[in-house]
Structure 1
Amino acid sequence: MRVIRTAAAQLGPIQKAEGRDSVVARMIALMDEAKSQDADLIVYPELALTTFFPRWYHADRAEADPWFEREMPGPATAPLFARARQHGMAMSFGYAELTPEGRHFNTSILVDRGGAIVGKYRKVHLPGHDEFDPERTHQHLEKRYFEPGDLGFPVWRMLGGILGMCICNDRRWPETYRVMGLQGVEMVVLGFNTPSVNSQRNAEGIEERLFHHRLSVQAGAYQNATWVVAVAKAGSEDGHHLTGGTLIVDPNGKIVAELPGEADGVIVAACDLDETRFGKETIFDFARHRRPEHYGRITAQTGVVLPE
């Protein structure tokens, strides 16, 4: 058995006025709770340090820069890294990254038990739009404030297994999991901030949003024989509601733990990475069963090409 006791640490809402020090204190409290349950790894949400700021439109793009981190760890996040080292606990969390070259990414990191950053991922599938849209019930301006990720979907050897990351909308795209699956991924960790109402389809409420969330994560886990740990930031942020749905899914696509409610909270599951072997050696034995000569269209085009 290769067991990682994995904590999914949901954050409740972060209001626009809440400072990073307050948020980090909440994250540390969740880490302490995870430690009391003997967790080896704790996973936090996308944009864990701030409110979901892409809902706010700035005519001057640079006015959003205060939401971004210029270094990691920085002064505000150093206590989180220190507590992780104290507990000997690995962690993953998401944040807005501003590089020294002035580039902007929606980023997540993997940090080992010693507090060293061993992996970085930048969100590839950015949803939403890049200009103010008066037809929407609320704005979703990730394409305005972030560049598409430029690191691909790497995986890392860590905690005795092979781990990968993705972020929020990435979980809806099968290519996300398959690229990591082709590198033998055994656990995918991801954070999300998902509005409870579709800004372009009001009738699609929270139950349908949660259905699609679970469907995407469970399918990705099953079709690549991997654990998936999906962690929400949830609740009402300055009147804008985000879904919960923090859960851990096994390599058979079954939900083994799900956190109720929308407040700060932790669920812990013993994730045996050896449970990935059966699927990887049978129905999803890629070496025996994949036929990439027929998959060229997947990478050759983006939009739909209709038959003549």
Structure 2
Amino acid sequence: MSPNRTPQDRFNVAALQLGPASATIPETTERIVALLAEAAARQVKIAVLPELALTPYFATEIRPSVEPFASVALNAAAMARVCAAAKEHAMSVVLPHAEAHPAGVYNAMAFIDAQGQARGLFRKVHIPGQTTPDPEKEITILEKHYFLEGDLGFPVFDLGAAQVGGMICYDRRFPESYRALMQAGAELFAVSYNTPVMNGGTLDKARAASRLAICGGAFANATYTIAAGKAGVESGVTYIGDSFICSPEGEVIATAETMGDEVVVVEVSLSHQAALRARWDFAANLRPQAYQARPGGVSRR
């Protein structure tokens, strides 16, 4: 067992839903700190925030500069504020943000332990959308204009109560994301998203698609999953919210009830999860050699 690991089976986890971002990173950070205090009052040990939690979802339009959203100074101050709150509440926090890097900008996720120490980063692997707006669409996802592809793979971090790995938005659409984390030792999946209701879509359909992807990954890997999203109308775009926590059986066991800031809490049991994993025995029966495309197409008799 890692020196950072506490031998605990049952503990509370939370999805911290956020409504539309405030005007500045410091203002949004104070809302996050308030949610952390509410989660602490409910004995939460691990809390997960939505994608780009410190800022608006800025990738629906071309902007003159990304600096207001990926400011090194403002992000560092926000990170310090959240780390201090994590230490105060003895709570681990997953904090997604726009990470400025000499090579460009990453859509990233910081893992902060219950001592207020940043353990490391995940960078969004699968980058959706286009580099330029589509004039025929009301909404164009322009993440390819703003973000580099993540170069860290799918790391797993020891957050004391559990080993945790993350996915950001579009990553949840790839079953390989979940499997990579499970094989790397993840005991909890943290999924963060800013999912808009897209052109011609509906709120119900967008939520159903999100749940299907996340609950399928939870079920296929017998892993509790904390799903935290942006909610409400921001810059004229509706975001689905619908933050929830999914059981290792793939069932939604708690969900947000509003389209604003909200704390969604569930008690998880790692021994229950371990028993399910032992039953399905994924590690022993995976056959990676069979998952490769083969030349020659379908054989016929």
TM-score, reference length from structure 2: 0.91
Is 1:260 the counterpart of 2:257? The answer is yes
**Would the aligned equivalents of 1:11 and 1:232 in 2 still touch at CA under 8 Å?**
yes
The secondary structure found in structure 2 opposite 1:98 is strand
Q: Which position in structure 1 is the counterpart of 2:288?
A: 292
* Alpha carbons of structure 1 residues 89 and 293: separation in structure 2 relative to 1, 3 Å: same
Q: Which blocks of at least 5 consecutive residues in structure 1 are unaligned?
A: none
Equivalent residue for 1:3, pick from 1, 10, 34: 10
1:306 to partner: Cα distance: 8.3
1:138 to partner: Cα distance: 1.4
CA distance in 2, matches of 1:276, 1:166: 20
1:136-215 equivalences under 5 Å are: 136-196=137-197, 198-199=198-199, 202=200, 204-215=201-212
Is 1:31 the counterpart of 2:31? The answer is no
CA distance in 1, matches of 2:145, 2:104: 12
CA distance in 2, matches of 1:163, 1:205: 32
* Alpha carbons of structure 1 residues 76 and 294: separation in structure 2 relative to 1, 3 Å: closer
Is 1:12 the counterpart of 2:40? The answer is no
Question: Across the two proteins, how many residue pairs are aligned to each other?
Answer: 292
The secondary structure found in structure 2 opposite 1:94 is strand
Moved over 3 A (4+): 305-308
* Alpha carbons of structure 1 residues 72 and 158: separation in structure 2 relative to 1, 3 Å: farther
Q: Which blocks of at least 5 consecutive residues in structure 2 are unaligned?
A: 1-7
| Amino acid of the structure 2 residue aligned with 1:272 | S
Is 1:277 the counterpart of 2:274? The answer is yes
* RMSD, matched Cα: 2.1
| Amino acid of the structure 2 residue aligned with 1:179 | A
CA distance in 1, matches of 2:99, 2:283: 37
* Alpha carbons of structure 1 residues 306 and 167: separation in structure 2 relative to 1, 3 Å: farther
Deviation sequence 1:3-52 (CA, Å, 0-9, x none)? 2311211001115xx01111011111111111111111111110000100
CA distance in 2, matches of 1:86, 1:228: 25
TM-score, reference length from structure 1: 0.89
| Amino acid of the structure 2 residue aligned with 1:226 | T
Is 1:220 the counterpart of 2:238? The answer is no
Percentage of identical aligned residues: 33
1:111-126 equivalences under 5 Å are: 111-126=112-127
Q: Which position in structure 1 is the counterpart of 2:83?
A: 81
1:72 to partner: Cα distance: 8.5
